[in-house]
Amino acid sequence: MYSTNADFEYEYEDNEMETIPNNQQNLKVCIDKHRAGKVVVIIKDFIGTTDDLKSLAKILKVKCGVGGSTKNGEIIIQGHVRDKVMEILEKEGYNYKRVGG
């Protein structure tokens, strides 16, 4: 149903959570060897906005010199660069845990 009121403004629900501070994040960093046959590093459990997730992904991609993306609330970094990713997260003040191999 649509309003015929010319001054009507639809209110959108904001489903994104506010980004918590870096030192309160509890990220999980793991390696996946089955994505199109290539090794990727996956960062999970980021709590915050999509823009902040993408911003962190960009920092990691630039500092590691690799490609990557964000999908379903996760950061995917191409290559076997988990140690470098963990070093960057530590310098940025994030709490993280290494998961798996």
Domains and CATH numbers, the chain: 22-99 (3.30.780.10)
> Please, are residues 14 and 67 in contact by the beta-carbon 8 Å criterion?
no
> Please, are residues 33 and 63 in contact by the beta-carbon 8 Å criterion?
no
pLDDT tens for each residue of 2-35: 556 777 666 655 566 799 999 999 999 999 986 6
> Please, are residues 84 and 64 in contact by the beta-carbon 8 Å criterion?
yes
pLDDT tens for each residue of 43-94: 999 999 999 999 999 999 999 999 999 999 999 999 999 999 999 999 999 9
